[in-house]
Amino acid sequence: MDELDIQINNLERALLLINHQEAEDIIMKAAAAGSPAKVASELIAKTLQRIGESWENGSLALSQVYMSSLICEEIIDKVFPASEYVHTDMPKIAIAVFEDHHLLGKRIVVSTLRASGYPIIDLGGGLGTDELVTIVQREKIEVLLLSVLMLHSALRIKDLTTRLAGSGVKVVVGGAPFRFDETLWETVGATACGKDTTDALLIVKDLMKGVK
Q: Name the site residues for another protein (rule: CB under 8 A).
A: 18, 55, 58, 60-64, 66-67, 70, 100-104, 107, 126, 149-153, 155, 176-177, 180-181, 183-184
CB atoms < 10 A from the CB of 181, how many? 12
Report in angstroms how near the CB of residue 101 gets to another protein at its nearest.
Answer: 5
Q: Which amino acid is at 98?
A: F
Residue closer to another protein by CB (options 195, 205) is 195
Q: Report whether 146 contacts 157 (CB < 8 A).
A: yes
**Cβ nearer to another protein, comparing 105 with 117:** 105
φ and ψ at 148, to 5 degrees?
-135, 160
Q: 3 or 181, CB closer to another protein? A: 181
Residues 16, 39: Cα–Cα separation, whole Å: 19
* Nearest distance from C-beta of residue 177 to another protein, angstroms: 5
> Of the two residues 10 and 64, which places its CB atom closer to another protein in the complex?
64
Rounded least distance, CB 74 to another protein, Å: 12
Give whichever of 98 and 118 is closer to another protein, judged by the CB atom: 98
For residues 86 and 72, give the distance between their C-alpha atoms in angstroms, rounded to a whole number. 14
Based on C-alpha coordinates, what's the Rg of the chain? 17
Give the shortest CB-173-to-another protein separation in angstroms.
Answer: 13
Please give the C-alpha separations between residue 131 and each of 51, 89, 109, 189, in angstroms, as whole numbers: 34, 27, 21, 19
Q: How far is the CB of 167 from another protein (least distance, A)?
A: 26
Q: Which H helix or E strand runs over 32?
A: helix 20-33
Q: How far apart are CA 101 and CA 4, in angstroms?
A: 38
Who's near 33: CB < 8 A, 6+ residues apart? none
Nearer to another protein, 42 or 100 (CB): 100
Smallest distance, another protein to C-beta of residue 187, A: 8
